[in-house]
Each structure stands twice: as C-alpha cells, then as structure tokens.
Amino acid sequence: MNKSNILEQVSPADIYLHFLSLDTFPSKNISSPFSEDQNPSFKLYDNGDFKCFSTGKQGDVFQFVAELKGLDNKTQFNEVKQVITSELGLIQNISYPTLPTTKKTDNISVKHHNEWLPIHLSYWEKYGVKAKHLDEYGVKPLKYFEFLDSKSELKKFPIFDGVAAFSYQLNGRFEIYIPQQEKVKKFYLSKHTNADIFGLAQLQKGTPIIICAGKKDCLTLIASGFQAVCFKSEATNPSVEQIDQLRCHGPLFICYDNDFQNTVNNGQLRQAELVKKFDLIPLTIPDVVNDIADFYETTSPDRFSEYIQDYIKRSIKETPAQKEQILQIRPIKEVKSSNEQQLTTIFHITENYLSKHYDIRRNTVKLDIEIRPKGSNNLWRSLNENTLFVELQKKGINISIERLVSLLKSDYTPEYNPFSDYFNNLPIWDGKDYIHELSSYVKADNQKEFNHHFKKWLVRAVKCALIPEYFNKQAFVLVHSSQNSGKSTFCRFLCPPILAQYIAEDISNDKDARILLCKNFLINLDELAVLSRQEINSLKSYFSKTQINERMPYDRKNSIIHRTCSFIGSTNMDEFLNDETGSVRWLLFNIQSINWQYKQKVDINKVWAQAFALSNDNSFEAELSREEIAENERRNKDFQVITNERALVQSYLAKPSEGKRVVFASPTDILIYLKRWSGLDKLSNVTIGKALKQEGYERIKKYNDEKVQQWGYMVVLLKEQNNF
C-alpha cells in the first residue's frame, strides 16, 4: 500500500483532524502538538502540508504522522502507513488501479449497485437489451469486487465512476465482465465452470435454441425474442448430456464468432467441430461483422430479427415434424409462457423448496442469515445450515452442503437491515417535542444544556445507524454520585424494544469489541469509573471510528463493515477524565435525580420518530458548533482527574497577582522546588509541564544575564525560597 492508495480513501485534512482531535480544519495557526508554544505556532495548509514555526518541523501529512509518533518517515515509512491505516480503519492492500489476473484470484465476492445506473443501461441499449432482460438472466451492475490473491491477501478492486461493469450470476458462481471503454481495458474474470449453461433455466420447450459464443450475444438474441444459451466460452467442450438437455427444448443452432484471423481460438473452426460432433445446425451471419452483437449494432432491429428468423426457417429440413417446428419459429415474446417454471438444476429445485416452506433473509447488521416458517409470525432465528441440509436430504433434494451455503450467501437471499426497517416504519412525527418531554424527567445541574445536547445526540445516533461513513463523535454520559439513581436504567430505556438485540453493555479493547461497533445500535458504558486510563483512551478512539476491517467468525477473509453504534454511559465518579490533551469526545452532565415516571409517560418510539425526522431536516444542525465544543471543554474540566503533579502545582504554586512576590522559574527549577517540599521523587519535567498548562500557567521565553534564551513560567512560590 502506497501513499496514493491511502489518499484514495482519506484526505490529508481527515488525517490531520483525526490525529489532532479536531472537528474542523483550522484556517489559522493552532497550538503545536510538538511544543508548548506561547502563541499558536502550528499551521496546516490547503495543499496538505504542515509547518511548526516553534520547532521547525514541516512536510506533508505523512511526515506529520511520523513526527508525531517518533518515526523516521524515510526508513520507517511502512510503520507510518500502518499507523494511519489502523487508526483510521482504512482498507489495506488495495490493487488499484492494476487489474488482477484470473490465475491469482480466489474467493471472489462482489458488491452490486442497488439499481441500474444510466451508464450500465446505455451500454446494453445499443444491443436492444433492457433492464428486465438483465434482471431475468442474473446480470447485475457491479460496484466493486474483493478477492484473496495467491498470498491470501485481501484485494479490493473498485470500479471507476463512468465505467460500466457487470457480473453474471449462475448457479451460485460469478463471472465479472468489464467491457472495453474509454477509461479501462476489457477485463474478464470467470468462476463459472464448464457445467454451467447461461440461459438454460429460462428455456421454453418447442422453440429453436441458438448456442452463442458469449453472454452478450445471448442477451442480444433474447432481447429480440429468440431463445439463446452459451457455455462458459467458445473453447468449452460440452458433454453429450448437456447437448441432450438443450435438445429436449427444441432444435439446436450454433453461431460462433467470425474471428477468421484468429489462428488459436477461431470461432468458425470451433463451430464446425461442434456441428460435426453433435449434428447441430450452423447459423451464419454476414462476414463483415464479428459476432451477433456487432451484427445487431450495425443494422436495424427489424432487419436483425428478420435475418435470424428467415435463416432458421430455411435451415430446418422440411420433414412433417419439422414443418410443425417451423410454424413455431417466432420471437419468444409472442409465445405464452408456462405458469410452471422448468426446474433444471439442483439450485432451482432447492430454491423452489425453500421458497415454499421458509422466509429467509440476510441480516446485514448481525451479519447472519435468519429463517422462519413461511407465512408464520414466529420470531426470526439464526439459520443452522446443517439442520437445513439434513432436512433437504430427507426430502430427496441432494444438494451438497457447500452448494447450499453458496446459495444462501448469494443474491437469492434478500438483505434486511433492522435499523432502516425500524426507522422507516415508525409513524411520521406529529411535531410534538417528545425528546424534550423525555429529557424533562432528568433533573440536571444545567438543564438547558442537557436538553440541547441530548436532542442533538439522539439525532446523531440515528444518522450513525443509517448512514455509512457517518459516526457519532461524542459519548453522552450521566454523572451522579449515588448508586441506584436510575442512570443505567434510563440509558437502557433509550433502546426501543424492537431493537433490544442491538444494545451492548460495556466494551473491551479487542477484535470482538471492534465488531460490536458494527452490530449494535447503542453501547451502554455502564460504569466508567472502574475503567483504567488506558481503557478510557481506547474508548475515545472508538468514538471516531467509521468502519472496521476484520475477519468475521468462520469467514475466510476480512470484511469492511460500517460502524452503527452510538455510546451512552453513566458513572458515579465526579472525576474520571484523565486525558490532558482534551475531552471533546465526552458530553458529561451532572444530574440531580431521575423521575421514574418516564417509563409510563413516554413512548420511546415517538422519541426516535422525532429524532429520525430531525435527521432528515437540513435545517437542524446535529453537529456541535465551534462554540459548543469550547463550552463542552470548559464544562468537562469539572470531571478531570486531578493528578499528583497537578495537585502539587495547586498546593505549592500560585499565579502572579498584585502584592505577591513573582519569580521566573524554568521547568527544572519548579521540579526541584516541588520535590523538595513534597518529598516526592517520581516527578518529571514533562508531567509538571502538563500540569502547569492545565492550571493555566503561561509558558514564556526570557533571556538571562548571559543573553541565553530560557523557557519558563512566572509563578508565586507558596513556600519560602529565596532563589533557585
């Protein structure tokens, strides 16, 4: 992974904002992360560069991360990249834009667009193919695909904007096709087998069938009303059983490409071999075109249909039986389709059985397949593939367990998102302020601010659950010194009953915890007071994650999963914040009491209906403004843990004031002074400097009698000491 791969996924500004814990890109100088500057001396430029005027450090965003983490950007660039990709949850090992080769790929998974885009339909339009034909024959608009290469590394191949790409789904396997276009070369990658026949499942009996060179030719003929199929490629050697399977539907024609100049894979030579071997009827198109699709493109639709239809009629021998067949030669669109679908593969048989007996869905939040009996109101349960496999065997449906799993993981199984289903089915908000009604049952020290931020947090929670790439940056925390005050119960009440499976209690710092970010609506931090400093800081890093890149249980490769959860919490400790770099990710409110009547008086579904409506209201600003961030930082100072160093500064030093003896002291001077009077040895310049900064002491520069520059602080010594 190189710089370009990283910057394809995230901008330099996003990297700066993450590592500097900022919410907006600063237009002016800010305090340097590399020094305790008296005046803001750190500048970010629009071109992605930075400069620290107090230390002289400068460069691009990668140099910035290297400096911040104490790495050498030249000799340790791999470590710099790893820091960025891991902390921002980026996709590693992207093969972009280099195309992979079919020999080096396995375990392909594809992601489709939800609907046909103009770029896709315009490609097929020139062949007369409509969206309905593509849908019927399992053609999908490709968004991107992922695969494991020969080194078992996850590769992602995205599709450029303005590029038409497709996948053909057949018997649980994919074929990827990117036609030659202005921006890309032709690309073909197939996981179909020689046993697969494209178009077989849609055949009707009694009408001639044309075996084509490829799927584009097939669809061109199908769109014009003819029956057509193709094997994996022209080079495929069909079996006698396959030909017999096709012949039972009607007379067999074959029309391969006119690539006369190709001495290796000559379509006409291959066609002649199959005509002789299986007694097929050759269908010849004009020499001036290469294939059926080209023929359609160079003539009119009516002329194309007339040519194919007339050729078929002339080619069939006029025996009494075949005269009857000639009468049936007409576009399929004029033939009435049978009400009973022809079941031709084990997949069709299995799908038919499952569709009759079960409702099945893929839960995109749980990342699980769920099942219940058809037409019942039973609760959905996790599907057990082994149980279903045994049931199918007992019914005489001899599908293998591998093929059953492939079927269930294919597009046969519809997707279900419990969050979008819940919010989109809530009653429309009637305009009443239900959020204010709920927050009024909580008596807070600063009621106005509590109500204001509670509403904003709820709206952000909705957006976090529904919008990929969006994340709720702040955890909302209730603070009350007493146990059994109802804080935790109130937090749990916020999760609507229908989403009761999607709330987690507390969170650790491992892979399972990261997965919880994407499988829950709320995470209730039930008791923050018992967490260590490291655990608190780990939580803070979770608040800014938008996605994870993890291998799910039993999966063979990593998956990119979007975060959906928001954090709510409670504590009975007034002081638990111990991060001296800032606390913008925490919304902390001292509460006095909670009126338990909210459980009977407030409908939580109406609360979320209001939050959902506000999340779609462009006039409602859910994010914290710059002023609100500053005010939140001031409010959070009441919850900061007072370190030993900070306590010593408070006890033995004071800020300059009128009538007090003020002295200039360097950090070392202050360190010696505090050690002498406190009797504590385990102190350092760094920790004392942080404590002085937290207490608001200004670091200044001064020159001594020898004109040597010194940094220090103007302080009042509360213990008598003549000099340093």
pLDDT in tens, 521-548: 999 988 676 666 667 767 777 777 777 6
Structure tokens given for 103: 């020999």
Residue 375 region by backbone torsions, left for phi larger than 0, else alpha for psi between -120 and 50, else beta: left
Q: Is the pLDDT of residue 342 over 60?
A: no
Q: How far apart are CA 364 and CA 524, in angstroms?
A: 22
Compute CA distances 202 → 169, 254, 345, whole Å.
14, 18, 11
Q: Is the pLDDT of residue 101 over 50?
A: no
Report how far Cα 631 is from the mean position of its chain's Cα atoms: 33
Q: What is the pLDDT of residue 546?
A: 74
Model confidence pLDDT, tens digit, residues 240-253: 999 999 998 889 99
Strands (DSSP E) found in 344-420: 358-363, 368-373, 381-382, 415-416
- Per DSSP, 577 falls in state B
Model confidence pLDDT, tens digit, residues 430-473: 999 999 999 999 999 999 999 999 999 999 999 999 998 888 98
Q: How far apart are CA 394 and CA 352, in angstroms?
A: 16
Q: Is the pLDDT of residue 113 over 90?
A: no
Q: Is the pLDDT of residue 706 over 70?
A: yes
Q: What is the pLDDT of residue 149?
A: 63
Model confidence pLDDT, tens digit, residues 555-603: 556 667 888 999 999 888 776 676 655 568 889 999 999 999 999 999 9
Q: Is the pLDDT of residue 280 over 60?
A: yes
Handedness of CA 431, 432, 433, 438 (dihedral sign): negative
Q: What is the pLDDT of residue 523?
A: 92
Q: How many CB atoms lie within 10 A of CB 501?
A: 13
Q: How far apart are CA 142 and CA 128, in angstroms?
A: 20
Q: How far apart are CA 446 and CA 588, in angstroms?
A: 11
- In the chain, the amino acid numbered 97 is P
Q: What is the pLDDT of residue 265?
A: 66
Give the pLDDT mean for 256-269: 76
Q: How far apart are CA 242 and CA 263, in angstroms?
A: 27
How buried is 212 (Cβ within 10 angstroms: 0-12 exposed, 13-18 middle, 19+ buried)? buried
Give the pLDDT mean for 53-59: 91
Q: Is the pLDDT of residue 490 over 80?
A: yes
Q: How far apart are CA 504 and CA 502, in angstroms?
A: 7
Model confidence pLDDT, tens digit, residues 653-676: 888 888 888 888 888 888 888 888
The pTM score is: 0.49
The backbone torsions φ and ψ at residue 361, rounded to the nearest 5 degrees and listed phi first, read -150, 155
8 A C-beta contact, residue 582 and residue 639: no
Compute CA distances 178 → 99, 140, 186, 324, 567, whole Å.
11, 12, 6, 42, 43
The residues that bridge with 677 in the sheet, in sequence order, are none
pLDDT band at 303 (very low <50, low <70, confident <90, very high): very high
Q: Among candidates 43, 202, 35, which has minimal Cα distance to 135?
A: 202
Q: What is the pLDDT of residue 701?
A: 87
Q: What is the pLDDT of residue 193?
A: 86
The residues that bridge with 427 in the sheet, in sequence order, are none
Q: Among candidates 178, 212, 213, 172, which has minimal Cα distance to 193?
A: 172
Q: What is the pLDDT of residue 426?
A: 93
Element (H, E) at 144: strand 139-148
pLDDT band at 35 (very low <50, low <70, confident <90, very high): confident
Q: Is the pLDDT of residue 127 over 70?
A: yes
Give the pLDDT mean for 311-330: 57
How buried is 580 (Cβ within 10 angstroms: 0-12 exposed, 13-18 middle, 19+ buried)? middle
Radius of gyration of the chain (CA): 34
- pLDDT higher at 722 or 59: 59
Element (H, E) at 675: helix 667-678
Q: What is the mean pLDDT of the chain?
A: 84
Q: How far apart are CA 611 and CA 106, in angstroms?
A: 44
- pLDDT higher at 167 or 688: 167
Of all residues in the chain, what percent carry a pLDDT higher than 70? 85
Q: How far apart are CA 279 and CA 18, in angstroms?
A: 69
Q: Among candidates 130, 93, 364, 352, which has minimal Cα distance to 224?
A: 130
Compute CA distances 631 → 475, 585, 636, 663, 697, whole Å.
16, 13, 9, 33, 20
Of all residues in the chain, what percent carry a pLDDT higher than 90? 41
Write down the CATH number for the domain with range 3-87: 3.90.580.10
Structure tokens given for 651: 């006890």
Give the pLDDT mean for 420-432: 93
Write down the CATH number for the domain with range 200-334: 3.40.1360.10
Q: What is the pLDDT of residue 341?
A: 42
Choose the most confident range, by mean pLDDT, from 375-379, 401-405, 667-671: 401-405
- Per DSSP, 713 falls in state E
Q: Is the pLDDT of residue 502 over 70?
A: yes
Give the range among 54-63, 200-209, 440-449, 532-541 with minimum mean pLDDT.
532-541
* Assigned CATH topology for domain 434-639: Rossmann fold (3.40.50)
* Assigned CATH topology for domain 644-717: Arc Repressor Mutant, subunit A (1.10.10)
Q: How far apart are CA 478 and CA 588, in angstroms?
A: 6
Q: How many CB atoms lie within 10 A of CB 567?
A: 26
pLDDT band at 99 (very low <50, low <70, confident <90, very high): very low
- pLDDT higher at 599 or 481: 599
pLDDT band at 379 (very low <50, low <70, confident <90, very high): confident
Q: What is the pLDDT of residue 682?
A: 79
8 A C-beta contact, residue 227 and residue 207: yes
Q: How many CB atoms lie within 10 A of CB 319?
A: 9
Give the pLDDT mean for 347-370: 92
Give the pLDDT mean for 282-308: 91
Q: Is the pLDDT of residue 139 over 50?
A: yes
Rounded (10°) angle between helices 447-466 and 626-636: 120
Give the pLDDT mean for 87-115: 59
Domain ranges of the chain: 3-87, 102-190, 200-334, 346-414, 434-639, 644-717
Q: How far apart are CA 244 and CA 252, in angstroms?
A: 10
Q: Is the pLDDT of residue 501 over 60?
A: yes
Q: What is the pLDDT of residue 12?
A: 87
